[in-house]
Amino acid sequence: MRANLFKASLLLTCQAVFGIEPVRPMSTDRPDTTESGYTVPAGMFQVEMSLFDYARDTDRGKVADQWIYAQTNLKAGLTQSTDLQVILNSHAVAGESERGDATRTSGFGDITVRLKQNLWGNDSGTTALALMPYMTIPTHTKVSDEAWAGGLIMPLSVTLTDRMALGLMIEGDIVHDTDTNGYDLEWLHSATLGFALTETLGMYVEIVGITGQDANYQGIFDAGLTFAVSDSLIFDAGVRIGMNRPAPDLGVFSGVSFRF
């Protein structure tokens, strides 16, 4: 979501009055699932880090939970409409328990490389559309999925008013099927609505749906808050709630984003 919706009018004023291209407001892919349609400006770097991310799911007496610490998305603006992203799952702890028996594993997770190409709207207009192909590289640690994966993400960002923005996204993923040792096609769709409550405080609500071959549909609701310390430093926190039985029951998270 846009870091500060109020800067849209300033951007247009600078372009019209001074004939210059100011640096576009910082836009982040976190904390919601829906990615941003905007890219990191050329020559700039952006870091989006999850301080912690906890998820818990209960199914027929089996309890699975996972902690992820310091998952980091490192971004570099290659051109005015393209950025490169490398996502590091710095440390993950996963556990399962059933009828008193418990197991727990930890380690460095898999690495994901993404390339975001903005098609329109980076610096003008009320909409921005991007294409983002990605590939996940297995690290073969104890918490690794131990298989290559990839897909294509298509996010659309829409500025509704100076205090409200809409995000829509469709994602197709090629994921490893542990039962058949083959690959399945998985689909994700999401919609998020962001609000600027004040100059520095924002919030969002989001609906996410996930389905795939021989997989039950998962419906997830999440909501969160963002706090902009400055134009280039934002803290966030939120919660995810499963809306049906196949979806994970609960998730809570917090993170920080900054650029330079």
Q: For the segment 36-71, what is each residue's pLDDT rounded down to a tens digit?
A: 999 999 999 999 999 999 999 998 778 989 999 999
pLDDT in tens, 148-200: 999 999 999 999 999 999 999 999 999 988 778 889 999 999 999 999 999 99
What b/e readout covers 225-236, taking b as 16+ CB neighbours within 10 angstroms? ebebeeebebbb
- The predicted structure's pLDDT at residue 4: 46
- Identity of residue 3: A
* pLDDT confidence tier of residue 220, bands split at 50, 70 and 90: very high
- Identity of residue 51: L
Both tokens of 220, joined, read 């997830």
Inform me whether the pLDDT recorded for 254 exceeds 90.
yes
Share of the chain above pLDDT 70, in %: 90
Helix (H, G, I), strand (E, B) or coil at 85: strand
Both tokens of 188, joined, read 């994700």
> pTM for this one?
0.88
How far does Cα 212 stand from its chain's mean position?
A: 20
- The predicted structure's pLDDT at residue 21: 55
pLDDT in tens, 135-149: 999 998 888 888 999
E strand or H helix that includes residue 173: strand 164-177
- The predicted structure's pLDDT at residue 20: 44
Inform me whether the pLDDT recorded for 9 exceeds 90.
no
- The predicted structure's pLDDT at residue 16: 41
Residue with tokens 């380690």: 107
- The predicted structure's pLDDT at residue 225: 98
- The predicted structure's pLDDT at residue 253: 98
For residues 192 and 34, the answer to whether their CB atoms sit within 8 Å is: yes
* Mean pLDDT score of the chain: 89
pLDDT in tens, 234-253: 999 999 999 999 999 999 99
In this structure, which topology does domain 7-94+103-259 adopt according to CATH? Porin (2.40.160)
The residue-averaged pLDDT of 207-236 equals 94
Q: How far apart are CA 157 and CA 130, in angstroms?
A: 9
